[in-house]
Amino acid sequence: MAVDLRFYRRAGTLDAKDIAGELNGELTGNTVCKATDVASANAPSPGALVFVESGTLPEELGAHAGVIIGTAEALSGAIFHPQAALVAVRHPKAAFALIAQRIIAPRQSAAGQAIHPSAVIAPSASISAGAHIGEGARIGENCHIGPNAVIGAGVDIGDGTRVSACAVIGFAVVGRNCRIGPGSVLGEAGFGLAPGPAGLVELPHFGRVVLGDDVRVGANCTIDRGMFGDTRLGNGVKLDNLCHIAHNVDVGDHTLMAAFAGVSGSVKIGRGAQFGGRVGIVDHVTIGDGVRLAANASPAGDVPPGETWAGQPAQPIRGWLRELAILKRLAAPKGQSAVRDRNGKGEKPGRQPGG
């Protein structure tokens, strides 16, 4: 998937020889290949710079005529396009981060301009004092942009959407009739780090945030843009205050999340899921359609559709309640077990029948 040029600009073209020289890597294949774009190895675009690590290489990479950075182990023995250039290095993610930012760069709005001349604002939209509208942004009919809100370069705000005070939206396409709460931030880079020769390196993000229609984002929420593709919230998704959605997450239509819910990167959530407060989801798992997660639940893997889970790590709620009952009995002091009345019903520990 090529980057969206509403939000990014082409910063330059680099030859495979120059890339290998800067990375002190071993160059094989097409030595005159040029990198003009960046992409994921799973969806490479023509002329793109990509990286791979050890493991099974994506099938799509075999037809890619671009510059491929990887470990010597990952690149050896695989069949690549005859026009591809291969650069073998020890730390491919960190190497990609160093080079990619010289090929594609994020667009930055000019300082000192409250509303950029190229911004397209519908006549019925209202823009509050202190708001900033970036280059090439589009604000739809009957939108409201609150005081000191920031709408970044290229951002598209659908008709009827309301953006509250001090919200910041960048690298995003927002649907119709959405509500963005005060202080929320959409489109910042995700938390991606990779080890390099000199320590940890931050990975650049070239994706977007895409919101469907009728989405509600509460106050002080954060939604990170994808590393390559999109972070997506479907139609009718509702986020309470202080929720976090990491990069490349896909949230199905009409999903609900209570306050403090946190979703790690590359999670797929089905339609109509319901998250209680403080739910935490690990990365790269799938939460099925209609799943309900109790407050504080933390699934460590996939959750099948339609199930209700609870606990840490989360499990089907009946099993979790059964474990709680067993632990409660085990933890009761000696001599304080439940006293049973004539009907066999349990009484509170220490209470005498008829007392």
Instruction: Give the residue from 70, 60, 67 showing the smallest Cα distance to 94.
Output: 70
N-terminal to C-terminal alpha carbon distance within the chain: 73
Amino acid identity for residue 163 in this structure:
V
Amino acid identity for residue 121 in this structure:
I
All residues at 6 or more sequence positions from 165 whose CB lies less than 8 Å from its CB, including other chains: 128, 146, 147, 148, 149, 182, 183
Instruction: Give the residue from 238, 190, 187, 241 showing the smallest Cα distance to 210.
Output: 187
Contact (CB, 8 A) for 152 and 173: no
Instruction: Give the residue from 285, 295, 224, 290 showing the smallest Cα distance to 255.
Output: 290
| Catalytic-labelled residue, pool 64, 144, 244, 247 | 247
Would residue 247 show up in a list of annotated catalytic residues for this protein?
A: yes
Element (H, E) at 209: strand 208-211
φ/ψ bin of 171: left (φ > 0), alpha (ψ from -120 to 50), beta (otherwise): left
Return the active site residues.
247
